[in-house]
Amino acid sequence: MEINDITIFMELYRNRSITKTAELLHYTQSNVSTRLMKLEKEFHGTFFLRTRSGLKILPDGERFYHYAVVMEDTLNNLYQEFQSESQEIRVGSTQLLSRLYFPWLYEINSHFTMHTDAVKKLNRNFNSQIYDIIITHMAQSPDTGIFQIQHPEILLWAASSSLEMNPEEVLPVIVSRDKLCPLRHLTLQTLSQGRSELSLIEVDTLDLMITLLSSNRAIALLPEKLIKQERRLNVLPSLSPVTLPVYGYCTKKTNADILNQLFQKT
């Protein structure tokens, strides 16, 4: 038996669904099924009955649950005990938000380790306890014991500071190549209204986006804070601002306090 088998069993018990358990734990359904079968084989029992409406708990499963819930609680206490002894706080965010918030975090505590990831990977690493804090534009449904801090981010349309706008010109739009990027989605949603066609320039990094913006006739939707930091960029007043929430997630009250300070001061 592996430690993760207890987590898999408990989620199956709670959700009565292999599909939902796989989604929550970011496993494949076949992986969840295989781990369950190995667990049942090792303990010589059948824990669940598969039905069209989901999983039905069997007597062996109820017996195993009484031990598994104690093991889950013990493991959680074990992680908290040893993690509390470490001053290191692992923070994950996207390229864009890390540019805005990481400098302030480093000023208040040098024990932060900071990482940038794609949106999907951020959530997966947070659920796997790789990150203590994540800062993201992507909302998720937090479980019990997870703090969610929300902050409104003002987004403005930016272009090169040397650009002379022609009111009749339709400029290309620079967006992230990440299909899950909320700014990409919001950009396309906003500009598609009233425009028959959009010319997109897809990029992989924020630095490349800013470089292309500053040296080409193009526009992009960016946080107001970032535009103010970049002398090469100006705000396009002809396009209306947009608001997009920023979310901070963590499991400790002390980290939630840090997130509240972060959003108030930046």
Q: Is residue 44 located within the same domain as residue 123? A: no
Q: Is residue 76 located within the same domain as residue 52? A: yes
Question: What's the structural domain count of the chain?
Answer: 3
Q: Considering 50, 84, 118, which residue would you say is the last residue of a domain?
A: 84
- Give tens-digit pLDDT for 61-110: 999 999 999 998 888 777 766 665 556 889 999 989 998 888 888 776 66
Strands (E), 94-140: 112-116, 133-136
Q: Is residue 203 located within the same domain as residue 237? A: yes
Q: Is residue 50 located within the same domain as residue 177? A: no
**pLDDT value at 203 more than 70:** yes
* Mean per-residue pLDDT, 138-151: 80
Q: Is residue 235 located within the same domain as residue 166? A: yes
CA distances from 90 to 46, 191, 247 (A): 40, 36, 16
Q: Is residue 180 located within the same domain as residue 159? A: yes
Q: Is residue 253 located within the same domain as residue 145? A: yes
Q: Is residue 157 located within the same domain as residue 137? A: no
CATH code: domain of residue 125: 3.40.190.10
Cα Rg of the chain (Å, integer): 23
Query: How far is CA 138 from its chain centroid?
Result: 6
**Confidence band, pLDDT 50/70/90 cuts, at residue 44:** very high
Q: Is residue 157 located within the same domain as residue 239? A: yes
**Residue with tokens 């598609």, as numbered in its chain:** 192
The reported pTM is 0.62
222/174 Cα distance (integer angstroms): 10
**pLDDT value at 52 more than 60:** yes
185/84 Cα distance (integer angstroms): 38
**Dihedral angle computed from the Cα positions of residues 54, 57, 60 and 66, in that order, rounded to the nearest 10 degrees:** 120
68/89 Cα distance (integer angstroms): 29
Q: Is residue 161 located within the same domain as residue 190? A: yes
Q: Considering 65, 84, 103, which residue would you say is the last residue of a domain?
A: 84
Beta pairing, strands 173-176 & 200-203: parallel
- Give tens-digit pLDDT for 109-135: 667 888 888 888 888 888 888 899 999
Instruction: Supply the range of the domain harboring residue 78.
Output: 3-84
Q: Considering 84, 119, 140, which residue would you say is the last residue of a domain?
A: 84
- Burial track 14-53 (b if 16+ CB lie within 10 A, e otherwise): ebbbbebbbebbebeeeebbebbeebbeeeeeebbeeeee
Taking CA 92 as the corner, what is the angle to CA 90 and CA 93, rounded to the nearest 5 degrees? 155
Q: Is residue 198 located within the same domain as residue 129? A: no
* Mean per-residue pLDDT, 5-23: 90
Q: Is residue 146 located within the same domain as residue 250? A: yes
CATH code: domain of residue 25: 1.10.10.10
229/226 Cα distance (integer angstroms): 5
65/179 Cα distance (integer angstroms): 40
Count CB atoms within 10 A of the CB of residue 144. Answer: 4
